[in-house]
Structure 1
């Protein structure tokens, strides 16, 4: 569905109505992406609240290809069906005179044959046509003929938040802030005009071509009355109904605020707060305000949801108080979201103060430059001397993967001196070639082997070999075998941020250590609650420092790592429920050798042989790692962030669900493609 096309009380739930949901972009560089897990009826939105309208009446299935306004003579060409319900259908229509496109709500005359039915449509039209706000669906005009009533509305080409939620299942906190700010802006406008929406839900928040939100569907909207005269009708969508509405105490602005809290919870947690398999149980949970707050939500998000979902309406925050909450004031809100965020996690820049600080740090750390250049820190010999305390300071060397013009680098005395053009070393030239190869994605690592002999190609080849063997021997099965109840602990990536346009790729491991693979190939890890630092040069020479004894030359780099760490902590949710204890500070964490982004997934290869693949659209993850006895374990993290670990040999013998098998095949094809191009 595209715009506010039909009255919420007269339609099926948004998910039941709309099968035309966003699909991931086609992968032109590899195999098709795995489909998202099936959306079972048990997880669908419960049936809509019963209304007075007769749902047994059938909508006429056909609409003429061209519709003409009998009064003005203007004709409109019917386009695709945008959405449908038990009461109306919504079509894309084009004005044949101006070529302007609309979302048109079409209501059969048979549905308004009774006076009270006609009054409801008239009230909806009269109310909507008075509204004019940036974040409210624009009303254009309406007319009727013998067959239908036609309501012409602003076309929102990216459909609704329900479609985005269906494709993504959960959104990041910056995205939630982005949408909530716009919803609140439109809602404040309505409330200031004495209008209650009474059906705030994901399907009624429409997204236009520019990723701007519009609040729509005013079929249940009503004027705000005094407490004595407030409407006592139970109407709206079951999951989002406020306790006072269920208790027939009437609707006030606080009821819309309650629904807003449910919307926030749904976007961040993946399901409505009071959703159950039974409608009566859902109502009971709402009346008792009984719901769970996932621990992976940030403290600020938990506090805000708790402050909104209060049983007593007067105890809830109002709209201004919500915007003044620390969830908004201390969190990053993007100015705009990319269209790709409709189907995958967007790459968002940090807030402007941090961005300015990043730039400042980069200038001080990388030095001034006339040509685009990247930095390689102190070479191995110099850093070895630093560790032994022999050298007081050293020179950070600037280098580009291209031949650079003469530029300035800091001298040991801190003064700027002119340097001659620097030619890339063989290892750097090889790294440059890796970046330019045809395999789609970013390859930010040296092709030299690590101290343990691991290379990205070797890890990819090994993983592809064992997975391929498993799939080849795997019998047909409809479900996964029993998972390990207490799997052996291993490290995996719970959060990540791509800032490779300037610095590199940052990630958080399940023991809360932070790693950043910088663009030029150096690797920096913060471990042991940020007390210990592990540093790896491009030639894979490792160094360890206590944070208090970090060489001066690496302190600016540490600040960049900390900024990435803080961003992930404040803005990103944990990727699953699988955790592990902090490792000993003396043990270096696994090093990220290479990360690759395809259109559908993020692939990460580590020097301990671990492979992790994160799928964008449904947030499922596949992790292949080695156990202490040398055998392989495969962990699958579902869209609900629940983890299941199996010995790979068990999957080979017992088989697995089609859902997991499809993902494993996709991973194998990715790895084989990687190996072919490497």
Structure 2
């Protein structure tokens, strides 16, 4: 069982084949590889590029292959360290051998991608050809797997996501790698994966013009390559399935004691899927290792598979993962809080008691990083302040409250920290709303309004969840659009059709794409967006009786800024819609414009809504409790720093 594993996965000796015959040619090439695995003993330690005048110092061996050895190589003028692939001229003396090296250089030198090993320079002297590449200090996934034996599913998602990103770039450049395996995935100091070794890479040809050469590493060859039907993008996808299987189980899927049997298993797509794998992992492996090339998924679809969307994907792995399994089960306060909140929703009295005890402790110890959700549209957080008492009739308006801001987020800001100020456009929207509220409060007489109107609001926030300690602030509008203002200052909306995403990096700049064709760099954020949508749909109820009516002629609503104090949540939208939810009694006020007129809606403790024209409030006044809430809302807009 170890024979083929050693042939295909030995970290320091990359053995592969590219011959039209099968076993005999493979074994012959393998023997030649072993014979040629040693560079000349007299190789100089200091190497000079005579064209540039630069001198390099050769360091330790990093790996070796059929024609070359790879060394650490340091530029003596800058101290920059490279991985230098050094090929003796004696190893490429035949024309076709030299052509192979030249083709590798020409293909690799034009590639520029985060997950592709960077090509820097090449030169030669009388003895060798030198190719200077990006140095990856953590070596390769083959080294990591050798130390670890198997990897966890979150790690496999982490690495596969980066492999797919690099491979998609290659295929977009019409380049096939043709030798994807653990030994060709290199890991940088920061644990970022880089696809490397383009010795067998080739330009993509049309199906009729594909070369029939059997090319690659035995355990990773696809059925169509073995059957001499040629190598296409689907063959790289097959190899990806072999890589995934190997990372999860520590051995290639078609490993046997002899090469003929391995090829027989590959042609029949015959392999086992142990019960230790998750159902999602089994499904993805099965699709990647489909016998028919056309049945394998496109790279665009792989990251949307349940294996990725229904499982944890770490944003970064610690360097300790190179030799020991990571601990992904460290409990965070936010995660624990969500679990207790769910228990409070659906459990018994004991669960509710535990939840409120946790909530109290969580707020006391983490005042600026909360993970609170609302139930029935109401915050799970009890007010840290006292209920607002109505001002007695005839008394002057209440003096300005002290606002204790806990956390905030703004479109275009770098985090939910209050130290990141909103941009000038967001500020101008806030100033406009503040001036409207201030003008109303300063000129509104005491008393109660004579009349209110019944109308359909355009849109308002019916549900929300604050997960800004990790991702951002999510909300659902009454027209069923779900939005998330992320901690990095960007915003995403999932439209009611659940198929369209709107992305905003700043006010007015919208990118639109389908959930079936997500740009690679947005996959993570869309996954979080869907998580928020699912959570609110499954666990939260609407916060009032107010019926809304979508206006297709109006621009889409999206969140510009949110603020949380110890008493209320404030949300400000791109069109000036302004909503404040009060914790202690679950009341809400919503200020918006309709038909060029300002409307103010008040949702009371019974979740019953009343809508007033602002002009009527200026004439007739409003109830004292509503006035107090308007004053507090204005103060939230005016106070920008936490107390």
* TM, length-normalised to structure 1: 0.47
- More contact order relative to length (CA 8 Å, sep ≥ 6): 1
* TM, length-normalised to structure 2: 0.50
Flag the structure with larger Rg. Answer: 2
